[in-house]
Structure 1
Amino acid sequence: MYFSSLDPDRSQFLAARLSGVRKTMPVPAWPRSERELPVVELEVAWVRFSVINHRTKAEQIREQGKAGRNDLFSRDPLGEEAQRAQYSILCGQEGFEDLKSDLKSRRQQEPAIVTADGVLINGNRRSAAMRSLFVEDDVRSAQYITCLVLPADATAAELVDLETELQVAKDFKQDYSWINEALLIEELYERENKDFKRVAERVHRKVEEVRDYYEKIQQVHQLVALSGGTREYVDFIPNETAFAELAKHVKNKSESEAKAVKDVYFLGTLVGVEYRNLRHLRRPDAAELVVNELRSHATLAPLLEALPEVSGSASTSEDDYLLDSFLEEEPAVSEPLESVLRLAATKRPEETVQAADGESIEMTDLMKSLRDVIKSAAQEAAEDSQDRREITAPLERAEKAAVELKRLLDALPKARRYDAWDEREFSAKVDRLEGLLRMVKELS
């Protein structure tokens, strides 16, 4: 990491700038006992953005994919390429223009925090906004940014702790997406010997909340990996509730049910089915319901016909597969829905697939059809659940009534000990109960 060996030229420059500086400010979040840090003004174009900023981790993964470079931010973190990419990410975040307007009118209100060679640990977005104001909008008041400077021997762990305390633990600021929060929590979990209690203490949250974030991101990891690079972590920022419900449901379920529900949730999320519909499919036969809808769909039925286990063919030639148009290796066909999911995950919207009957299908049309199919399956599941509730409701209510009557028998002797007890009123209520029971027996 860049902070394990400071850039000598930059650190010497900043040390010279600090020479003679007397002004300091306390930073309560700094983990050391000496929390007073020197204050200095630095040119906004000179400071460097932190490329280990957890606020932008998912966006960095996306940019690495676009560039085809896993070392985009690690090979030369302070170099022009990495810094330009990080600046672009920061400028593209929601609310950036509002932040610029605020800084233009009110100027900088809180100091940023930098390492001894001028890398921002806190204040990256403000610095990017000020740089944009100065460089692009020629706002001269944004030329310098006020910074607090950390000691030259600050460690990686101390910097992560500081970022966590300043930007996450206090209030989980709005510019932290849930994906990036979860990625940070996952990193802390590994660092804290896989102890959720210790992570919860770090971020000032309940243990169950931290665990939920960790379990949600595990589901996202699986779907991103399944896509083979087609889908990015940032694509799933709008789907937090779906991943939360999925992670909670599969936790204590059998392997078969967990897989069925996971496949349906993953496919539904990819094609844009709302979580309110998907939740009806949290049941052991979820995959079966969706596959049945696929078989009855005119456009999608050829997809299932091309799968060996469905058609009954044992052939493994390329002509037997719908998926040969986009998979280099033979697809897993242990379950029809799995191959459909793989198709939706790995194909881009602008692509087409070749169906078993030779027809080309636009992915945009295919995704819409899949969305309709899953919604239909969800509706069927909802109606089935309603029917089951209606069937079991009388039994459940009878059981509750029996429990209440048992409580009545236990409470009656105690109540009769008091002078204020009204036996006549009680007898009237018993008569009403007897009348209701007669009606129930007459219906049976």
Structure 2
Amino acid sequence: MNPVLDQERANFLAARVTTASKQLLPQWMRPEKELPVVNVPTDWVRFSTLNHRTRAEQMKETKTKGVYDLFSADPLGTAAQQAQFSILVSQEGFEDLKNDLRARGQQEPAVVTAEGVLINGNRRSAGLRSLWLKENLPSARYVRAYVLPSDATADEVIDLETELQVAKDYREDYSWVNEALLIEEIFIASKKDWDRVAQRMRLKPEKVRAQYEKLQQLHQLVALSNGTRYHADFVGNESAFEELSKHIKDKASDEAASVRGVYFIGTLAGVNYRDLRHLRRKDATSFVKGELASDPTLAQLLTVVASEPADSSDDFLDDVLGADAEEPEDLTAVLSFLAQRTPDEIVTLPDGATVPVEDLLNSVRSAVTAAAKEASEEAKDAQAVIAPIVRLSEALDEITRAGTALPKARAQSGWDEDKFKKLVEEVKTATGNLESM
């Protein structure tokens, strides 16, 4: 928190606090958990530019506009506030939130700093502001909010936001990307103490580590796009990143590189993560390369990317995918080429035809899906080859166990010797039938 308050705003809020009643805010860190609750104009409060629920969207906005201090240079200024408002109103479910506010009004108080910056309730306040400014809805003119003490520290604020985030009523506001970014921030601030992170997030250590590891894979894919793709673009791909991070965790570098490259290009192209599962194998790259080469358009794309001059991103790709991975060259080149281009960009092929990158991605999606199907069929064939031996081995184990248990069973009063002998004869018959096949 800035130790120097915006005194005019602080005075405005302080005047309202003097006559305000107090309510309990259990998540507040300090022993004194009762805070004043006031009503302030919805167009007066300021959205938090440190809002972890919108971190990924902010990262995208700064890069898109090329203003990297958009949310930090003047957080309470017009540019930052308008950009944050635009992010909030564009989030999924915002119209449903407005409809609920229109019908029921504000149910829970928001939380603001001593100068009126929202720590919690940003989306609800944005909904109220939209209803007031666009529809002149009287019930949306004010937002009700707890007011934090003027000496609240940054650490206390992050802890409060985290406590509210893990509460059932608030957790749904977080995407997996923003939750993982918060975990990463706490991890770094806590000197890489996983127990501390887990404690603050109210999650098990393995859960916060899993979120962190998924994010590291996403960091790599975003970085190799060289500014074309953003973290917020992959909110809907959580399952793919989760399965990828779990699979490669304990794998040799060549298999990890192969699977990572396939998952990255498959995710870019929109391949269903359930299909990508079949390519969690060391030779995944070979399957995909074969399908790419068999498609006439993609075969020409391979020629185009092979002629692209090497740049500094190649070194990064080697770090990500592994310089010594099994035959990674063609897939690495295609991945780099597609990741660094927008869907509407036009590519000229060797035969003179022009094709949008979006069409190429559609073709890649079909190719990767076909590769996944081929890998799945091969896996089934491999299982079919060894199935009789596996089943016989299991049967032998069971017969051995039956022999071990036989003396004790025969000593019991309910033992059926005739049934036992009949089953032994049936096993002999079955074995004979196998030998004659």
TM-score scaled to structure 1, two decimals? Answer: 0.91
Question: What is residue 34 of structure 1 aligned with on the other side?
Answer: 32
Distance 1:201 1:410 in 2: 50
CA distance in 1, matches of 2:205, 2:215: 16
Partners of 1:353 and 1:338 in 2: CA distance? 18
Residue equivalent to 1:13: 12
> Which residue in the other structure is 1:318 paired with?
none
Amino acid paired to 2:407:
P
The residue number in structure 1 matching 2:57 is 59
Count of aligned residue pairs for this structure pair: 426
Deviation, 1:170, is 3.8
Q: Distance in 1 between matches of 2:397 and 2:231?
A: 50
Native 8 Å contact 2:305 2:334 kept in 1: no
Percent of aligned pairs with the same residue? 51
Q: Which amino acid in 2 is paired with 1:151?
A: P
Structure 2 vs 1, CA of residues 203 and 329 (structure 1 numbering), >3 Å: closer, same or farther? closer
Amino acid at match of 1:102: D
Deviation larger for 406-415 or 258-267: 406-415
Write out per-residue CA displacement over residues 232-259 of structure 1, whole angstroms, 9 at most, x where no aligned residue: 1121111111111111111111111111
Matching residue within 421, 426, 431 for 1:432: 426
1:380 aligns with 2:374: yes
401-410 or 135-144, which moves further after superposition? Answer: 401-410
Q: Give 2:77's match in structure 1, choosing from 76, 79, 93.
A: 79
SS of residue paired to 1:409: helix
Point out where structure 1 has 5 or more consecutive residues left out of the alignment: 309-320
**What residue in structure 1 maps to residue 321 of structure 2?**
none
Which residue among 129, 132, 138 is the counterpart of 2:130? 132
Task: Give yes or no for contact 1:11–1:118 (8 Å, CA) kept in 2.
Answer: yes
Q: Which residue of 2 aligns with 1:181?
A: 179
Q: 1:172 Cα shift?
A: 6.1
1:313 maps to none
1:236-385 aligned at under 5 Å gives the runs 236-305=234-303, 321=307, 323-324=308-309, 335-385=329-379
8 Å Cα contact 1:169/1:203 also seen in 2 = no
Query: What displacement does 1:302 show?
Result: 2.7
Alignment of 1:384-395 (within 5 A): 384-395=378-389
Contact 2:305 2:337 in 1 (8 A): no
**1:300 partner SS:** helix
- Give how far 1:406 is off: 2.4
Residue-by-residue CA offset, 1:98-126 (whole Å, 9 max, x unaligned): 22222222222111111111111111111
- Amino acid aligned to 2:380: Q
What SS does structure 1 have at the residue aligned with 2:145?
strand
> Alpha carbons of 1:372 and 1:218: their partners in 2 closer, same or farther (altered >3 Å)?
same
Letter in 2 for 1:159: V
Match of 2:152 in 1: 154
Check conservation: 1:165, 1:202, Cα contact below 8 A: yes
**What corresponds to 2:96 in structure 1?**
98
The verdict on how the C-alpha distance between 1:331 and 1:180 changes in structure 2, with shifts beyond 3 A counting, is closer
Shift of 1:48: 0.8
Residue 148 of structure 1 aligns to a residue whose secondary structure is strand
CA-to-aligned-CA distance 1:202-228 (integer Å, 9 cap, x gap): 222222222211111111100000111
Name stretches of at least 5 consecutive residues in structure 2 with no aligned partner: 319-327
Tell me, in whole angstroms, the C-alpha distance in 2 between the residues paired with 1:171 and 1:190: 27
Decide whether aligned partners of structure 1 residues 149 and 395 sit closer, same or farther in structure 2, where only a CA change above 3 A counts: same
Inter-partner Cα distance in structure 2 for 1:149 and 1:115 = 6
Q: CA deviation at 1:4?
A: 4.0
Name the residue aligned to 2:324. none
Letter in 2 for 1:19: T
**Cα-to-partner distance string for 1:55-100 (whole Å, 9 max, x where unaligned):** 1111111111121011110111111111111111111112212222
Deviation at 1:25, TM superposition (A): 0.8
Instruction: Report the counterpart of residue 114 of structure 1 in structure 2.
Output: 112
Over the aligned positions, Cα root-mean-square deviation in angstroms equals: 1.9
What is the deviation of 1:407?
A: 2.0
> In structure 2, how many angstroms separate the alpha carbons of the residues matched to 1:233 and 1:153?
34
Q: Does residue 164 in structure 1 map to residue 162 in structure 2?
A: yes
Is 2:9–2:115's contact at 8 Å kept on the other side of the alignment? yes
Q: Distance in 1 between matches of 2:29 and 2:387?
A: 58
Contact 2:248 2:256 in 1 (8 A): yes
Kindly state the Cα deviation for residue 361 of structure 1 after the two structures are TM-superposed: 3.1
Equivalent residue for 1:418, pick from 412, 422, 425: 412
- What is the SS of the residue equivalent to 1:145? strand
d(CA) in 1 for partners of 2:256, 2:112:
46
- Within 2, Cα distance between the matches of 1:86 and 1:229? 21
Distance 1:307 1:20 in 2: 69
